[in-house]
Every structure is written in structure tokens, then in C-alpha cells.
């Protein structure tokens, strides 16, 4: 339990230094061909270029699209991932 609490505290301290920021989360199952995936890339890049760091999940789908869009923008892209035994890999 203490290990989990320490992870939350460490993550909170790290993320508190990233501002201003927005977060984008969504389905991990959307493929790059999806219009939602493509639109998320565009939106994330616009937020990044407007001066916002983009925080999203580290998995596939919408989260991957958000990180892709922010990566080509001006400010950082932050991908938060959890380890799941059979679900996803990091983007």
C-alpha cells in the first residue's frame, strides 16, 4: 500500500510542474483510420501550439493520437501509462 501511495505522490509532484496543460483521454480501441483519431491529432497540435502541454494516456487509440499531435506542436506531450498484462502497450 505504501508503494502505491508513493507512486501517486511522485506522479502528482511531477505533473504539478507541467502547466498550463490540458488532458485528452479516450478509447484505446480506435484505429489510425478513424476520423476521431485524425481529429484528435489536429486538436492536440493546436493546443500544443497555443501554449498548452498535452497530457494523455500512454496507450493506443485516442491517447496515441493526442500524443502524436502534441509531439509535433510547441509544448511537451506527456503520456501516462499503466501496466496491464494483456491489454495495451505504450505509444
Along the chain (91 residues), what's the average pLDDT of each consecutive run of 10 residues? Answer: 87 86 92 97 96 91 94 86 66 58
Q: Is residue 62 part of a domain?
A: yes
Q: What pLDDT was estimated at residue 41?
A: 97
> Domain range spanning residue 38?
19-80
Quote the number of domains for the chain. Answer: 1
Q: Is residue 5 part of a domain?
A: no
Q: What pLDDT was estimated at residue 57?
A: 86
Going by the DSSP 8-state scheme, the letter that residue 17 receives in this structure is T
Q: Is residue 12 part of a domain?
A: no
CATH number of residue 75's parent domain: 3.40.50.450
CA 82 to chain CA centroid, nearest Å? 12
Cβ proximity of 73 and 54 under 8 Å: yes
Q: Is residue 40 part of a domain?
A: yes
Q: Is residue 25 part of a domain?
A: yes
Q: Is residue 10 part of a domain?
A: no
Q: Is residue 3 part of a domain?
A: no
The helix/strand/coil state of 54 is strand
Q: What pLDDT was estimated at residue 76?
A: 79
Cell reading at 13: 509532484
Q: What does pTM read for this prediction? A: 0.80
**Are β-strands 21-24 and 77-80 bridged in parallel, bridged antiparallel, or unpaired?**
unpaired
Q: What pLDDT was estimated at residue 84?
A: 67
Amino acid at each position: 500500500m505504501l508503494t502505491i501511495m508513493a507512486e501517486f505522490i511522485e506522479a502528482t509532484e511531477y505533473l504539478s510542474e507541467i502547466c498550463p496543460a490540458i488532458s485528452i483521454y479516450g478509447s484505446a480501441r480506435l484505429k489510425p483510420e478513424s476520423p476521431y483519431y485524425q481529429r484528435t491529432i489536429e486538436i492536440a497540435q493546436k493546443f500544443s501550439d497555443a501554449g498548452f502541454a498535452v497530457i494523455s494516456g500512454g496507450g493506443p487509440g485516442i491517447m496515441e493520437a493526442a500524443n502524436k499531435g502534441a509531439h509535433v506542436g510547441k509544448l511537451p506531450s506527456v503520456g501516462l501509462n499503466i501496466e496491464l498484462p494483456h491489454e495495451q502497450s505504450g505509444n
